[in-house]
Amino acid sequence: MTKSEFISDDYKPTGKPFDDVEEVLAKLTDKQKCQLLAGKDFWTTNAVPELNVPSIRVSDGPNGIRGRNFFRPTPAACFPCGTALGSTWDTELLERAGKLMAVEAKAKGAHVILGPTLNIQRSPLGGRGFESFSEDSVLSGLSAGAISKGIQSEGIQATLKHFVCNDQEHERNSVNVLVTERALREIYLLPFQLAIRDGAPGAIMTAYNKVNGISASQNAKLLKNILRDEWKWDGLVMSDWFGVYSVADSVKNGLDLEMPGPSNWRGRLLEGSLVSKQIAHHEVDERVRQVLKFVQRAHAESGIPEDAPEITRDTPETRRLLREIAADSIVVLKNENNVLPLSKNKKTAVIGPNGKITTYCGGGSASLKPYYTVSPFEGISQKLSETPLYTLGVNTFKELPLIGKDLVDPRGNVGFEAKVYDGPRTDKGRKHLDTYYLSDSHIFMPDYAPTKEFKAFYFDIEGYLTPESDGTYIFGVTVSGTAKLYIDDQLVVDNETKQTKGTSFFNCGTIEEKNTIELKKGQKYKINLFYGSSHTSTIEQDAGLSFGGGIRLGYIKQVSVEDEIRKAVEIAQSVDQVILTLGLNSDWESEGYDRDSMAYPPNVDALVKAVRKVNKNIVVVNQSGTPVTLDFHNEVPAIVQAWYGGNETGNAIADVIFGDVNPSGKLPLTYPDRLEDNPAYLSFRAENGRTLYSEDVYVGYKYYDTVKTKPLYPFGHGLSYTTFDYGKAKAKVVGDNVIITIDVTNSGNLDGKETVQAYISQAKPSIRRPVKELKGFTKLSIPAGQTKQAEITIPIKYATSYWHEIRDQWISEADDYTVHIGQSSESIVSTTNFSTEKTFFWSGI
């Protein structure tokens, strides 16, 4: 990819906003300094116009650039989720992805991207596991480094997050993570260390949690001793949103910027701390200096002016790259009897809840409004000579499917009308403030206020629903605020009179209140929702998080499980091949809460087994950000792990299952047979305010190797439609590096890509170490019948070292080391050896 493919001439560097950081710092008043250390609002920093200090804009996130609005956002390019990006094992491709993320940031007027996410998938249950790359520190770090390098190359600042050990959502703001120094260094800090080394990110975001008793946002060991002093990193440290818990300590210990604004802890409180000498002027100056340097760099390198407009850049080049990334991320787990690729000329059925609904991303701050989406059914239909049959099979929703696009507003367009008032409908003198026409009935408003002086506001929502069939329909309302739902003036759902706290809207909302009503086919029904903002809520609010509030309105026709499975069986009997589209969605995997189990939603296994009885030509396409329990594994011949694939989800799935793309994705995490096998099983979630990382350095495959437990699918596993033969591996020490080479031959009749994985083990370590550890990898594109040489260069210190807790340094011991070349952590195809002559200790990058 060249820069000209994505960057237009609209973006020209504008030069430095001010010339001299020290000169500006000397002229700032104490009040101005304190203001600079906190955000102005949800997405921008404070400016000092009289000194030519502009504000900068930040934007979520890890799989696409939302822009500044949760409410009525500008459409954006949605990339595959973090786990999908990690499953490409392709740093060149990820660098190109980073460049495109930067282009998207420029289109959204953002100087800073709040991503990538580097936390470790120590359990399949982590609510934000889909945002992260891997269970492995090296794969995570090299992936994030490549994306950061791409982002930074276009003048946009990347933000590594969440520093560090934010690996669960349960009690994330308060939990104390207890972790050994060795595990902290080898597993949880190492990805950040590698990403800083390779990607030079401009910013780092602190985690919500405590690490060994001290909150990450005021942890001097993490922010000063390691990040600044040891690693010599000179970027900006910002908090996660509302993740600051002190005035003086966070400033003293290295947190530069509190987000969002207006400030909870800085501003006037920090001014008071200066006056009372709870904090010294030079300590504040150091934080302000970092903010000024960052603002200067972000403006000069990006060329984005203050308060730039948000635009969309849905170009053919963007679509092609998103499709390439999504297809390369897909992992073929199983392919008995070469069921895959499927034929484009056979009669086909698509069965399953993920078929016609595009599950393109997980929930929380990673979510965004995509330019477009392509469902698996749409992608598959475009490949076939005859439109496939479809049926739902089974419902797998956690919350009812959104109703918005099934409504018609009073103008006759798809969606609904939302009128905003300054009082409830019982207030005859209320003022009409605004009118919006929307189609998404999931409305999150942390950044919305209809007037400058923010106070409670009210939505009167109106739309019209015409059911396609008679039946009993379930309606559900979830709010941060209060709401009542009426259908033809009949109260159907009351989420105002009595409310129950749930996990919705970042734990600021209610559970979904539901009720049923009988509706007739073809009859037009008036739908009214009367909503009051978060200020009207009767449930306890998490401080500051919800602001305006949120609405989620869903519905579905009530169906019989038995009837739906019977329909699926009838269709499966009538076709040559069946594609079962299953999985989770953003209701199940989201920021704010963790999953309770690895299990599929109810009745999925029954559906698969019923269909299998009548058709042996089945492919299961599973979409999830982390592993699910595949109880039907032995019942079906082919299983494809498709993740959350972004805008191009359906096209990418179709490209792989019909063979237009030869699959090359490899698992970035271990797929356990059951949750109980996961090494974090006994120590995931908080207990009495703490989480003990009891698996220590034995995360993921390192644990399975050590205890000799075979998972369902190993780390690094993934099948191709061609075959690869490996030669004999060689390793030699050249200077400070070990260089590993091996010939790889594409022995099949299709062009393909292969990831060569290099694991290293020590012969006689002085302490117990994992059986082997991933230390490097490379991905080769090899035409059919040809041979290419893989070369992997790894610095000796990274290839051999472990953390020495007594010396508080890395140690590389003089010893013999074995290189294990694998197609996965289990499938080792060649080994070789190298030796080091002396023991040495080291620190830093």
What is the per-residue pLDDT for 10? 47
Query: Where does CATH 3.20.20.300 sit in the chain?
Result: 18-302
**CATH number among 3.40.50.1700, 3.40.630.30, 2.30.29.30, 3.30.1330.60, domain 316-363+573-707:** 3.40.50.1700
Q: How are beta strands 724-726 and 432-438 bridged, if at all?
A: unpaired
Task: Identify whether the C-beta of residue 344 lies closer than 8 Å to the C-beta of residue 658.
Answer: yes
What is the per-residue pLDDT for 652? 98
What is the per-residue pLDDT for 543? 52
136, 240, 409, 705: which one is catalytic? 240
Mean pLDDT of successive 10-residue stretches along the chain, which has 845 residues? 38 64 97 97 96 97 92 95 98 98 97 98 97 98 98 98 97 97 98 98 98 98 98 98 96 97 92 94 98 97 95 96 98 97 98 95 93 97 97 93 96 97 94 96 90 84 97 97 98 97 90 98 98 91 68 95 97 98 95 95 95 97 97 96 98 98 98 97 96 98 97 98 98 98 98 98 98 98 98 98 98 98 98 98 97
C-alpha to C-alpha distance for 295 and 54, rounded to whole angstroms: 7
Identify the CA nearest to 570 among candidates 351, 354, 353.
Answer: 351
Cα 727 to chain center, whole Å?
37
pLDDT (tens digit, 9 = 90+) per residue, 279-304?
Answer: 999 999 999 999 999 999 999 999 99
What is the per-residue pLDDT for 6? 37
Q: List, in order, residues 6 or more apart from 277 with CB less than 8 Å away.
A: none
Query: Where does CATH 3.40.50.1700 sit in the chain?
Result: 316-363+573-707
What is the per-residue pLDDT for 810? 98
| Full-model pTM | 0.95
Query: Where does CATH 2.60.120.260 sit in the chain?
Result: 404-557
Secondary structure letter of residue 351 according to DSSP: E
Strand partners, 529: 461, 485
Secondary structure letter of residue 710 according to DSSP: P
Tokens of 593: 């809460």
Tokens of 46: 């404070």
Catalytic annotation present for 240: yes
pLDDT (tens digit, 9 = 90+) per residue, 369-402?
Answer: 999 999 999 999 999 999 999 999 999 999 999 9
The CATH class of the 18-302 domain is: alpha beta
Tokens of 832: 């070789």
Q: Which residues of 20-35 are buried (b: 16+ CB within 10 A; e: fewer)?
A: ebeebbeebeeebbbb
The CATH class of the 724-842 domain is: mainly beta
Strand partners, 731: 740
What is the per-residue pLDDT for 454? 63
Burial class (CB in 10 A: 0-12, 13-18, 19+), 254: buried
- In whole numbers, what is the pLDDT of the chain averaged over residues? 95
Task: Identify whether the C-beta of residue 473 lies closer than 8 Å to the C-beta of residue 527.
Answer: no
C-alpha to C-alpha distance for 828 and 780, rounded to whole angstroms: 17
Q: What is the CATH number of domain 404-557?
A: 2.60.120.260
Tokens of 827: 């499938």
Query: Where does CATH 2.60.40.10 sit in the chain?
Result: 724-842
Strand partners, 732: 739
Tokens of 513: 């209140």
What is the per-residue pLDDT for 14? 46
